[in-house]
Structure 1
Amino acid sequence: MMGEQTREGGGTTMPGRDQEPRSYYVGVDVGTGSVRAALVDQRGILLAFADQPINQWEPQFNHHEQSSEDIWAACCVVTKQVVQGIDVNQIRGLGFDATCSLVVLDKQFRPLPVNHEGDPHRNIIMWLDHRAVSQVHRINETKHSVLQCVGGVMSVEMQAPKLLWLKENMRETCWDKAGHFFDLPDFLSWKATGVSARSLCSLVCKWTYSAEKGWDDSFWKMIGLEDFVADNYSKIGNQVLPPGASLGHGLTPEAAKDLGLPAGIAVAASLIDAHAGGLGVIGADVRGYGLACEGQPVTSRLAVICGTSSCHMGISKDPIFVPGVWGPYFSAMVPGFWLNEGGQSVTGKLIDHMVQGHAAFPELQAKATARCQSVYAYLNSHLDLIKKARPVGFLTVDLHVWPDFHGNRSPLADLTLKGMVTGLKLSQDLDDLAILYLATVQAIAFGTRLIIEAMEAAGHSISTLFLCGGLSKNPLFVQMHADITGGNGKNEQSWEGRASQT
């Protein structure tokens, strides 16, 4: 970022910090591998940024766990960093977003183990965890009507199958002792305020709650989780607020001390991380930039939030049911609009997997370090060197990747799918690595195109992609999406061209 300065403690100061605004706001974003905090003023100008890694455990294949205590501690570190040097009494509000991971606490709000090792520190089943395969198959076999709002097939990433797995596999050590099951973003807002109300965003998108009808008792009884019905859903949420609503009396004194913020400041009901990204970009003001999407309705936009996985967020004025695509969810992201959410189970994680597992990766690391570049910046420049006179996309004419290494989220909605690479040679040099990396990026972009085609076939009209997230900083990733989705093949552009609508 041009003109930025890094402060002591890891925060980053942005231009314009010397002009003190009257009001500040703090946003905390919990991703899969790190926590980020940002300080903005009332105009939305980013003034400071900090990030902190968080731990993950994989005790066995497809079991992915985290710690709510570890994540809260990281939230405290980054928040204290971004408010250094300002008058904290000018902070007016705090908001959280996070991955849709499942946090388990006992009746006294203490962590409970979600693992056979009995380690209560690891009390989060992560969103990407696939331990509940048997449970989700049985849920889908019920053909219950709530499945219509998840594309017809529930994902193993959602909370109902994870809850059923805990009941069936950890009854004595976890299930019978549990007092509270939170989506991670709701856990953070509870931690900050002491208010256990849930966000409509989390409950609608990951828990089968309906914004119009509330919980469906028959669903929970049918899948064997009648426990929740019996206690009026107190363990999973019987007070629901729209995203952004003020929670209770604001930040508690204890949380304020942890975060380095004043007690009593407003804390907003949370959002899932992808939905926060979608909300941030889908309503972007594009006037005056000469973009083709200027003047087109917001419903023509698709927000693509691309990080460890990718989410494809489209909104409509009326409900649209898309096979294999989650939703329609009313007011779950943009108030008054219906949301459809497509997605790819792994994108950033897949690129890392392919690149880091290649025989030439140590050479790549060494050369990138010597140039003070990231490995991906080096790979992008290396592709420019080997493409010769052809557009870079043609380097993969004989190499193809099927990207569903962690199953397919949308639109095939098949968690059993596996990945595939065809066209490999005996050589494994840096050129081969660069071309495999390119083919992986292209495969992800073709996955996005497949999701767009499914959404348009069901009734959406999409003309523009708005990208955000870590992968949106990679120009190759953005350009391949422009080339491969551009007009569904009618207006494709080369790597050298500029994507006018992306």
Structure 2
Amino acid sequence: MGETYYIGVDVGTSSVRAGLVSRLGSVVKMHTIPITVSNPKPDFYEQDSEEIWTSVCEAVKFVTSEIADKSSIHGLGFDATCSLVVLDGSLKPVTVSPATGEDRFNIMMWMDHRAKEQADRINAGGHEVLKYVGGKVSLEMQTPKLLWLKTHLKETWRRASHFLDLPDFLTFRATGRLSRSLCSTVCKWTYKCDGISQEWDRGFFKDVGLEDLAEDGWRKIGQEVLPPGTDCGQLSAEAAAQLGLSESTHVATSLIDAHAGGLALVSAQAKAKEDLVGRLGLICGTSTCHMCVSEQPIFVPGVWGPYLSAMVPDCWLNEGGQSATGALVDHVIKSHPASAKCPQSDKYGWLEGILTVMAKEKGLAHVSLLTKDVHVYPDFHGNRSPLAEPSMMGMVCGLTLDVSERNLAVLYLATIQALAYGTRHIVEQLQASGHVITSVLMCGGLSNSPVFISTHADALGVPVLIPATKQSVLLGSAMLGAAASGDFPDLTSAAIAMGGAAQAFHPTKELKEYHDKKYGIFKRMQTEQLEYRRTMGSI
């Protein structure tokens, strides 16, 4: 019997990636293709579903080009950002762009913040479904965006026949089946799944002004909702030809990209289902998502969830997040006068090398101590958790006239520390509500930084585990394909079998007081900003 493979496809904010993955969870081959992000106005972020599908096909063909027997590829899993895709009755794109009106841009991205007014209006209603999103629906979720489209783009609303989450758009293109994933519908669309009933809440949609979506048995937003990893069909003849695969390939019900990463992270070094509980997965990209599961539902103020079976079958998921992390670090570097000296190929390594030299020259035992006089509050793109306040802004304390690369390196370090304190704030809220967090696992761009890893271990006071398989999001989507193929009893079994090993980084005890003090300043900066807002609110 020959080798068995699965394909994971990850559609992130700025690129499409495909990975060929072995039965043991090794990423054998990977390919990345950049995709367009249109930003026609401030807070408006849009994409093109046809460009994305074409890129998916190209990436999959690349990673499978050396596999002669395509029937050895048993399963295909998709993950993508939780972005809103609009299609007409012929399943063709319908514009979400008021700037150009081109049907090319038919995706309202996760990071699109145009629907703040609609989110505020929904939250003012205090509907019961809001208790599953930390008490407030985020403007990054789909119901505010749907309401914005209905209010501002009436022609788009009239023409639209299907509203999909991007992960479900991919399974539709692969199979021709308009099934929806429990992951995206529960986490981003207020679909109800509480262990007793599973349904759209008609009263909520009526209350917020979206009652027309209930027509024809909810046809426009989903009549069939399936758990992640469920076989949602084999490849259609058209999709098989486009992807260069066999029609025998099973396609899995999808996950949101962060949830795919979370599934792979919490499965690293796990031997049984109970090992998945008590771990916090950090999926670090443009933003960071914080994922943890529990056996019973835990409601956490300002943190999304609990969502049943949205990531791990029969477990409840809570999801925190920071709206700008990789994007913030990039912004801090690019906006500094010394950025021209920073090599783009290894910017983290270059800056961390400068920090090491500085610490040695100053006789400091730890690089972390260089930021004693520099403090950053990191909410440059709002606070997703636990304040759930998208209008929060960034703050920097300790600026001077110094514009050297050393000054940039210290500011970079202070920014990383601030992100770690933001995670600590989320962890505090999780633990105050009943979670017990024993370790943190990381994947994504920032997890390639040794300083980012060690800072989180030191600031949080728990071990940080870095999986041997670096491409956790791709691995998570491949786990879906493995479960759908029937090669494993269920998704949990596939995840544990493919999770792999991880390296542990432990906290530095002598830095505890330092980070405790800086975290206290972080909290005061947060409080001060809110006080400044109250003061100026009377003007």
TM-score by length of 1: 0.89
- Residue deviations 1:403-449 (CA, integer Å, cap 9, x gap): 11111000011011111111100111100111111111111000000
Count of residue pairs brought into register by the alignment: 461
The equivalent of 2:180 in structure 1 is: 198
Give the alignment partner of residue 290 of structure 2, picking from 297, 312, 332: 312
Could you tell me how far apart the structure 2 residues matched to 1:220 and 1:314 are?
29
Runs of 4+ that moved beyond 6 A: none
CA contact (8 A) 1:445 1:481 kept: yes
Please list, as runs of the form range in 1=range in 2, the aligned pairs for 1:347-496 lying within 5 A after superposition: 347-365=325-343, 373-388=345-360, 389-390=363-364, 391-487=366-462, 492-493=508-509
The equivalent of 1:7 in structure 2 is: none
The equivalent of 2:499 in structure 1 is: none
CA contact (8 A) 1:342 1:411 kept: yes
Could you tell me how far apart the structure 1 residues matched to 2:42 and 2:23 are?
45
Q: Which runs of 5+ in 2 are unaligned?
A: 464-505, 512-539
Give the alignment partner of residue 283 of structure 1, picking from 258, 267, 281: 267
The Cα shift of 1:89 comes to 2.5
Task: Kindly indicate whether residue 215 of structure 2 is the aligned counterpart of residue 234 of structure 1.
Answer: no
The Cα shift of 1:22 comes to 2.5
Could you tell me how far apart the structure 2 residues matched to 1:51 and 1:301 are?
29
Give the alignment partner of residue 338 of structure 1, picking from 311, 316, 320: 316
Give the alignment partner of residue 166 of structure 1, picking from 149, 171, 183: 149
CA contact (8 A) 2:265 2:441 kept: yes
CA contact (8 A) 2:74 2:248 kept: no
What is the alpha-carbon root mean square deviation over aligned residues? 1.8
Please list, as runs of the form range in 1=range in 2, the aligned pairs for 1:93-104 lying within 5 A after superposition: 93-104=75-86
SS class of match (2:283): strand
Distance 1:295 1:52, change over 3 A: closer
CA contact (8 A) 1:482 1:493 kept: no
The equivalent of 1:258 in structure 2 is: 242
Q: Mean alpha-carbon deviation: is it higher for 81-90 or for 329-338?
A: 81-90
Could you tell me how far apart the structure 2 residues matched to 1:136 and 1:65 are?
19
CA contact (8 A) 2:78 2:252 kept: yes
TM-score by length of 2: 0.83
CA contact (8 A) 1:21 1:41 kept: no
Could you tell me how far apart the structure 1 residues matched to 2:338 and 2:421 are?
26
Identity of counterpart residues, as a percentage? Answer: 51
The Cα shift of 1:286 comes to 5.4
CA contact (8 A) 1:253 1:264 kept: no
Task: Kindly indicate whether residue 87 of structure 2 is the aligned counterpart of residue 112 of structure 1.
Answer: no
Give the alignment partner of residue 219 of structure 1, picking from 175, 196, 204: 204
Could you tell me how far apart the structure 1 residues matched to 2:370 and 2:85 are?
45
Could you tell me how far apart the structure 2 residues matched to 1:458 and 1:313 are?
15
* Higher RCO, 1 vs 2 (CA within 8 Å, ≥6 residues apart): 2
CA contact (8 A) 2:380 2:393 kept: yes
Distance 1:47 1:246, change over 3 A: same
SS class of match (1:440): helix
CA contact (8 A) 1:402 1:443 kept: yes
The Cα shift of 1:264 comes to 3.3
Could you tell me how far apart the structure 2 residues matched to 1:97 and 1:177 are?
27
SS class of match (2:21): strand
CA contact (8 A) 1:483 1:494 kept: no
The equivalent of 1:89 in structure 2 is: 71
- Residue deviations 1:5-53 (CA, integer Å, cap 9, x gap): xxxxxxxxxxxxxxx9431111101111111111012222221111111
SS class of match (1:227): helix
CA contact (8 A) 1:314 1:339 kept: yes
Larger helix percent? 2
Task: Kindly indicate whether residue 45 of structure 2 is the aligned counterpart of residue 60 of structure 1.
Answer: no
What residue identity is the alignment partner of 1:311?
A: C
The equivalent of 1:123 in structure 2 is: 106
What residue identity is the alignment partner of 2:85?
A: V
Distance 1:84 1:487, change over 3 A: closer
- Residue deviations 1:180-235 (CA, integer Å, cap 9, x gap): 11100000000100000001011000000112331110100000000112232111
